[in-house]
Amino acid sequence: MIETTGRLTTHVLDTAHGRPAGNLRIELYRLTGNQRRPLADIRTNQDGRATGPLLAGDDFTVGEYELLFHVGDYFSAAGIEPSDPAFLNVVPVRFGISAADQHYHVPLLVSPFGYSTYRGS
């Protein structure tokens, strides 16, 4: 079956420990000019994923979005005490959705001192 409705998913991997980043808080916002409208506030499951799509169906529209990954709290809970202030606390990822019928996957690979993201599948 071919997916006819777009959706947004994410996945977080803790590269410092070599495992999925479970129980990591993620916020999703829609950006319109200088306005930020909150759409979701979730925690990842034990596989480092959102339980379902962050956006799907009629809510999944063309536009600009921002994910905020709360990595500072995650690493503190994992026993890695950050510097004061933490080098990475909240990692923002801003991206655009240009096709409402496609799957957009925004993974984050993160350690206390660096991160990487890309459009996955």
**For residue 21, what is the domain's CATH number?**
2.60.40.180
At 72, is the pLDDT very low, low, confident or very high (cuts 50, 70, 90)?
A: very high
Q: What is the mean pLDDT of residues 24-40?
A: 97
Does residue 84 sit within a domain?
Answer: yes
Distance CA 100, CA 27 (A): 20
The three-state secondary structure class of 59 is helix
Distance CA 97, CA 107 (A): 15
Please report, as a single letter, which amino acid is at residue 46.
Q
Does residue 120 sit within a domain?
Answer: no
Does residue 1 sit within a domain?
Answer: no
Number of domains in the chain: 1
Q: What is the mean pLDDT of residues 69-98?
A: 92
Q: The tokens of 9 are what?
A: 């998913």
The mean predicted confidence, pLDDT, of the chain is 93
Q: What is the DSSP letter of 1?
A: -
Does residue 118 sit within a domain?
Answer: no
- Range of the structural domain that residue 65 is part of: 7-113
Show the CA angle centred on residue 2, arms to residues 43 and 30, nearest 5°: 40
Distance CA 70, CA 39 (A): 16
pTM value? Answer: 0.93
Please report, as a single letter, which amino acid is at residue 47.
D
Does residue 121 sit within a domain?
Answer: no
